[in-house]
Structure 1
């Protein structure tokens, strides 16, 4: 009896322990599923509300990037011989692996000049500038400007890498989601992020191009000896001759003008003829009527006189 009671108690304890272990394992499973769901739902909720965070900021040390410096120079100089100096300058530019982007020749009574803009690899900027000034008889001015765009470059690069991380996050999210609505939202966001990535890449390429090529604006000229040559004044008779010639020329032009408007004269003549005929016809009728009235009046007067005599 005691043995049966003991066996029953052991079985009950074993059942209770088994139930508890099952509950613990179920709870652990539920916690694991909840964590996975939370990992999935958090970014999805961020997508639904409009993803605002761009991920962790990339810390870029300034010493990891070569300083980005844009160099420009303005030079004006006088040369002894324009033609020889032009040939020398062209040879120097070719030797420096540079090229001319614009060029303008100028000529006046006092000087010959050329204004050109030169693009040169940044590494050859100082050497080319020195070689060009050696051609000069005198350097009027030489101004060198530098623009440090390192900070802007680092900022653009950091934003670009952050955007790429955000793009990767959205791509991972796109692989997990099955909802059509969420897929469309994620693809829209991906399109926006990729447009921003392309913009940043374009800006970086532009900065790299500006840094890789320096600009030199060069004006060189040769002074010319100015000789004043007084203008010869025409004589009195020459002026009279010119005046007569101008007057005759004016008369000819007036005649030519009146000849050009011959249709106006024809129309005027036709209009005048019509008007003259119409006026003459009316005046002729009026004269006839007056004569008729006069004859009638005379006849009436004669009849009255004869009747008075009879009385």
Structure 2
């Protein structure tokens, strides 16, 4: 009897051991699969991180800088220099933003030209422009690095586009009107942000593609007191004096004639009265 119990217990242990081994064999593939999936997820996340890092490094290496320059130049001929600068800007693929010329007085003429030049020809344009001056009074060149700002905008734009795609997918699967309205509202807000980000990126691209150069030109005339030839030419002075004397005589004669003709009635009366008085005095003298 005891042997039967021992054999029964031993058989029960064997059965339990076999069942536990089967459970372990069945659970083992699942744990390995989970480990493989976790490794795959980690590798994918690592690849994504490395891609983002590589993209950031590539964008950082290709720096985006907004260049601006202010030049103050003295020139001999402002009009000619201005035409040369404008012609050179067109030759380099740039364009004129503003051009003004104004005269302060007879001795000073000034002008201002604002030019947008492709970034690749920025330094060449500065050298050529300064070569047109008789004197470079001032030169100021600044650069603003917007690389990180541009990369940040690009990453935000990519994220917003991904959200836009998900919202569009949700909209296709939505059945209720309430859900459609909510998704449409969120989609409109995301699309507005996308437009803002796109506009900011385009602005930075334009500012970094073209540099702004403001040129102030000044032309000064040196006034040298000249010699008055009229004061040294005797013949001219003689003719001038003769003409002056003739004018005086003509003016005096004209005045006399005007006086006589204008006062002729009075002169006739006075002459007649004088003649009568003279005749009377002469007659009395004879007596």
For residues 192 and 83 of structure 2, the distance between their equivalents in structure 1, rounded to whole angstroms, comes to: 48
> Post-superposition shift, 1:227?
6.0
Q: 2:181 aligns with which of 180, 184, 187?
A: 184
Q: How many residue pairs are counted as aligned between the two chains?
A: 174
- 1:281-302 CA deviation, whole Å, 9 max, x = no partner? xxxxxxxxxxxxxxxxxxxxxx
TM-score (norm 2): 0.56
Decide whether aligned partners of structure 1 residues 86 and 177 sit closer, same or farther in structure 2, where only a CA change above 3 A counts: closer
Give 5+ residue unaligned stretches, structure 2: 1-47, 227-287
Partner deviation per Cα, 1:231-287 (whole Å, 9 max, x = no partner): xxxxxxxxxxxxxxxxxxxxxxxxxxxxxxxxxxxxxxxxxxxxxxxxxxxxxxxxx
Check conservation: 1:105, 1:113, Cα contact below 8 A: yes
Does the 8 Å CA contact 1:59/1:158 hold for their aligned counterparts? Answer: no
In structure 1, list runs of 5 or more residues that go unmatched: 1-55, 230-311
How much has 1:228 moved relative to structure 2? Answer: 8.0
Residue of structure 2 in register with 1:157 after alignment: 154
Moved >3 Å (runs of 4+): 56-61, 226-229
- Tell me the residue number matched to 1:59: 52
Quickly say closer, same or farther: Cα 1:145–1:178, change in 2 above 3 A.
same
- Provide the C-alpha distance between the structure 1 equivalents of 2:209 and 2:71, rounded to a whole number of angstroms: 20
Structure-1 residue corresponding to 2:273: none
Residue number among 67, 72, 80 corresponding to 1:84 in the alignment: 80
Supply the RMSD in Å over aligned alpha carbons.
2.2
Q: Secondary structure at the match of 1:59?
A: helix
Give the TM-score normalised by structure 1: 0.52
Aligned to 1:171: 168
Identify which of 212, 216, 219 aligns with 2:209: 212
